[in-house]
Amino acid sequence: MLRLLQLSDCHLRANADNEVAGRAPARTLADLAAQCAPLAPAAVILSGDLVDEPEPAAFAALDAALAPLGGRRFFLPGNHDDPQAMARHWGAAVVRGGHWETLDGLHLALLDSHWPGQVAGRVGEGQLNWLTARLAATEGPVLVALHHPPVPVGSAWIDALGLADRDAFLQRLAPHAGRIRAIVFGHVHQAFHGRVLGIPCYGAPSTWRQFAPCRPEFAYDDAPPGACLFTWDGQTLTRRCLWLPS
């Protein structure tokens, strides 16, 4: 049984004790990591918007919060992230231009949707070509992960800031839709479940604050910090959201 933990939209600051919008991001992330540690995930997918202030203290706070978790770690840049600063700190664990990993027969297609200077995301032609070649060269089930949502989530303000080249992205996935078990993403600060091309699409809750769903304009929700646990049994991929006690 393969367990994958998704942590997203942590928004850590250099001062780990600072509260932002009523919660300390480093504290809620640390509490979630401690709660999830007994699950012993084989890998942790950190799907973007991890550090708002790209300073050593902020990266150190994230490392300290993740300390209870073992397994591999994959860092996907989001729009709030500085990919160069991330790479200086975490090296090859930071996804730049796509990364392909296979764990227990499940292929992970990890993508970088950071678009410099923009809140919206973009995979880009080069990375799309890389993804197309990888999919053509392999067989078997695939999980695709990136920061920006490639589907509408029902909030006009979020949907305007999703994946700018989603049509091209979905065109590359379409010939392989039958073996793609899920597309998972961050950015939306809510536990979203939809479908595209028949593929389940899962938006992750933030480890800090959630956005109110289905709103035309920005608003916070009172839902607690959360994470996603994916379980792969060799045939079926399931998702369960994990929440801090209120």
Segments making up each domain of the chain, as ranges: 2-243
* Rounded CA separation 225/242 (Å): 9
Q: Does residue 118 surpass a pLDDT of 90? A: yes
d(CA 12, CA 27): 9
Residue 75: predicted pLDDT: 98
**pLDDT score for 19:** 84
- Res 246 pLDDT > 90: no
Q: What's the average model confidence in pLDDT over 206-230?
A: 96
Rounded to two decimals, the pTM is 0.97
- In whole angstroms, give the CA distance from residue 170 to residue 162: 13
The predicted structure's pLDDT at residue 6? 98
Phi, psi (5° rounding) for residue 142?
A: -135, 140
8 Å CB contact between 208 and 227: no
Q: Say how far apart CA 205 and CA 190 lie, in whole Å.
A: 4
Q: Which one has a higher pLDDT value, 16 or 223?
A: 223
pLDDT attached to residue 140: 97
What CATH number should be reported for the domain whose range is 2-243? 3.60.21.10
Q: What is the mean pLDDT of the chain?
A: 96
Q: What percent of the chain has pLDDT above 70?
A: 100
